[in-house]
Structure formats: C-alpha cells, structure tokens
Structure 1
Amino acid sequence: MTTMLDFLKENVEIVQIAASLTTTVVWLVYLHIFLSGYIQQRRSSILINRGGGQDMQARCLVSNMGAQPAYLLDVLASLDTGEDVNVSSVVDREELRKEEMEQPANLTGQGPIPSGGYVDIGTFKDVARRAGHSGDETDLQDRCLKLMAVCATNQANHVVAAVREFDMDAEGERVRLKPHKLEARQIRSRRRRKKITSMLERLETGASTRNLGAEFAKL
C-alpha cells in the first residue's frame, strides 16, 4: 500500500493526465451514443406495404415510421415488361369520380402523414391501372411492379423517398404479390434525392421524360 501511495505521489501529474483522458473518452462515448440516437430518431423512414391480402385486391399503404410528420408528394410506379420502362404517378385515385366524393381531398393520396400514420392509395389493381395496365389481371403475371413513395420532411433540404418492388406471380386465376425484400429501401443520399426531385419536376411540368424510365430503374 505504501509503495502505491509513493508511486502516486511521485507521478501525480501522469495520474492526473490519465484520469483526464479517461474522463474525456467516457464523455466522448456518451456523446456518440446520444448523437447516434438523436440522428436515428430524426431520420425519415417510409414504408410501402400490402394490406388486407396478398393478391391484387390488397391495399397499397404508404406509412410514415419516422419521428416527425412527412408530406406525401407523390407515388411513382413502373411495370417491368422487359422492354421500355414507363414511369407514372399513381398517387391520385383517377378511377373515382369527383361528384361521387363527399370530400375532394379523397381523390388523392397527397398530403401530410403523421408519425406512425399511413395513407391508402388504393388497391394494387388500381395502382397497376394507373401505371398504364389496361388488360386482365392475368396479364400481370411474371411482371414486376416498382413503387417509389416520395415525401417532404422538415429535416431534409430535399425530398426523401423509399422504394419497394413486388413480383406478380400466377396463383390459379389470381395474381399474388411477392415483395423482393421485407422492408422498403430508403433513399437518403443527396445525389439520388436530387435525381428524384428532377424526375418529379419533369413529370409535373410535362417536360421531356426521355430516359426517365432508365433513371427510375437505377434508383
């Protein structure tokens, strides 16, 4: 014990420096944990799900799992035929008539989504029709439906988006939806978000949509 006390007295400066470094490291670890949790909490999270089944009558739901509200700007879709890829906006319920709706806002899925909330943009059959499919349901088998939900949030300087793809396989006289992955893939990189903003502007303004399908396929 005496030897230890003598050592501490003789090396008091070194001990103080070591203690200060240890305290600094501990605080840095706590700061890293706090910032990581804060950033994770503020990060957007958009889901694209099936609801009420696994066939084309299932509802297409866009959910906001982020901590902050999000505004659904648009939902883009493409039906992969192995040829040219056409991109369409499918957020509006074009199959409904305005005079049949008590609230005109029900004609579109655009609007704010609270944290933990969702928007129903229609059945997958309706979504496929809005994306340009005009044939029977059986014509959709062995095709892939790609959906992209685009939102605006307070935390993002640009839009944020999520992508999910569904294979459509024949199951008897029906078509079954099979998602590629369990969850939607989040798009957060600044470069890709700028591309998405450019795509929306071109669709909104009616500008040239040349190569739009190729760009959409890469996102």
Structure 2
Amino acid sequence: MEWLNDNAQAISAVASICTLFVWVFYAQLLYNGYVRQRRPRVIINRGKGIGVEAICLISNMSSEAIYIQHLITVLHTQKRSYSLDVVEYQQRGSEQEENSYHTFQGPLASGGYLNIQSFGDIVSQIKAYWEIEDNLLHEQNIQLEIRVIAIYGSEDMPTGATRTFNLDLDASPNHQLIPVNVDTDRLNSRSQRKRVLEWAKEIETHKAR
C-alpha cells in the first residue's frame, strides 16, 4: 500500500495514457468503418447465360446512389486495343418500326443493377464500329475489358471500376469468357481516380472527332 501511495501519480499517468490509446484505437476503428461504408463499390459481373451469351451486369453495392457517366468497353488484341462507349446504344426495330435509342447514363440506386447487353453483343458493337475483320477476333490472347465511370455523392472526381475477361470465341461456351480476376477492380484512391478521369477525357475527345 505504501508503494502504491508513493507512486500514485505515476500510476495515474500510465493509466491515463493507456486509456487514451484505447480511445484512439476505437476511434480509428470507427473511422475506418465510416470510410469503408462511404467508399463506392461497383461490381461488374456475368449474369444469365454462359460464354459470350452471358449478360453483362453492373451492380451498385455502395451505400448511396451513383451516377453512371460512361460504360467503356475495350477489346485488347495483340496489335492494339479498340475502345467504345456503350452507355448509349441503338436498338434495331422491325421493318414496320423505327430504330430506337437507349441510354444507361443516369443515376443507379444503391442495390440496383444495369443489364447492359450480352458480352457477344458488346463484341459485335466494337467490331462494327471499328470495322474489325473476323479473323482478328479468333486470334489468341484476346481480352475484353469493361470500364465503369461514375460520380459518387458530392465528390468532384469520378470513381471507376474495371474488370477484364479472357475471350476465346473458338472455345466451348463454358470457356469462351473467363474473368482474369476473381473480383472487380475498384478505382477509388486519388491516383486511381486521376486515371479514371483520363479515361473520360479520352472518350470525350474521341466523340468530338
């Protein structure tokens, strides 16, 4: 007891410091949880169907709505890459009906998803736009990349998501479209968002030509 009395101030100081560290630790946990909850989370995945007949789905698993600006598809070949913004597309009508135009640009609610079109239709659009020859699509090491450019909340810089699939049109349906990575790559850091901004500038420059 005498030792405790003699060192009461030191013990109290150590206890206060330990308490401070505990509060800092819990504050850090709360902050990390808040940041994680606020971070945009967009998922690019395959839906109904197999191979290139599978549907390309864009899901918003963020806590708030996002605004879709661009949906960029990139066909990577051994010689070069061919990109196309498919946020707007033309749907052909019958002989009696006119062609209609649709757009995916706009807000996507939290928990919502977009059914863009099949991966095969996306490849066909790129092929038609760039006038790609059939034999090029049957070469080895062909990849199809899907990029999403979106605005999240009140943030100024766009956020992005990307996912790449190995494309083999000569394979069986189960092996025509294989994801390179298990999950979608989400581009949320400042440096990554600068990269997304460059994507947007490139596509806008291309449209202006």
Q: Same fold (TM over 0.5)?
A: yes
Gaps of 5+ in 2: none
User: How much has 1:130 moved relative to structure 2?
Assistant: 2.3
Residue 26 of structure 2, aligned match among 25, 30, 50: 30
Distance 2:27 2:174 in 1: 54
After superposition, the Cα gap between the structure-2 partners of 1:174 and 1:183, relative to the gap in structure 1 and judged at 3 Å, is closer
Corresponding residue number in structure 1 for 2:180: 180
After superposition, the Cα gap between the structure-2 partners of 1:196 and 1:132, relative to the gap in structure 1 and judged at 3 Å, is farther
Distance 1:150 1:206 in 2: 16
Distance 2:139 2:66 in 1: 34
Confirm or deny that 1:108 pairs with 2:108: no
Confirm or deny that 1:51 pairs with 2:38: no
Q: Is the 8 A contact 1:93 1:122 kept in 2?
A: no
Corresponding residue number in structure 1 for 2:121: 126
State TM-score, norm by structure 2: 0.84
Alignment of 1:1-219 (within 5 A): 5-96=1-92, 99=98, 107-132=102-127, 139-140=137-138, 142=140, 143-154=142-153, 156-169=155-168, 170-172=170-172, 176-206=176-206
User: How much has 1:174 moved relative to structure 2?
Assistant: 8.3
Q: Is the 8 A contact 2:127 2:133 kept in 1?
A: no
Percent identity reads 27
Corresponding residue number in structure 2 for 1:217: none
Gaps of 5+ in 1: 210-219
Q: Is the 8 A contact 2:65 2:107 kept in 1?
A: yes
Q: Is the 8 A contact 1:74 1:151 kept in 2?
A: yes
Distance 2:48 2:136 in 1: 20
State TM-score, norm by structure 1: 0.81
After superposing the two structures, state which structure 1 stretch, 136-145 or 45-54, moved more.
Answer: 136-145
Secondary structure class of the residue paired with 1:131: helix
Q: Deviations over 1:22-80 (max 9, x none)?
A: 11011011101100100000001111110012211111111111111111111111112
Secondary structure class of the residue paired with 2:87: coil
User: How much has 1:154 moved relative to structure 2?
Assistant: 1.1
1:40 aligned partner, one-letter code: R
User: How much has 1:135 moved relative to structure 2?
Assistant: 6.0
After superposition, the Cα gap between the structure-2 partners of 1:190 and 1:96, relative to the gap in structure 1 and judged at 3 Å, is farther
User: How much has 1:113 moved relative to structure 2?
Assistant: 1.1
After superposition, the Cα gap between the structure-2 partners of 1:201 and 1:138, relative to the gap in structure 1 and judged at 3 Å, is closer
Distance 1:125 1:112 in 2: 26
Secondary structure class of the residue paired with 1:78: strand
Distance 1:53 1:207 in 2: 32
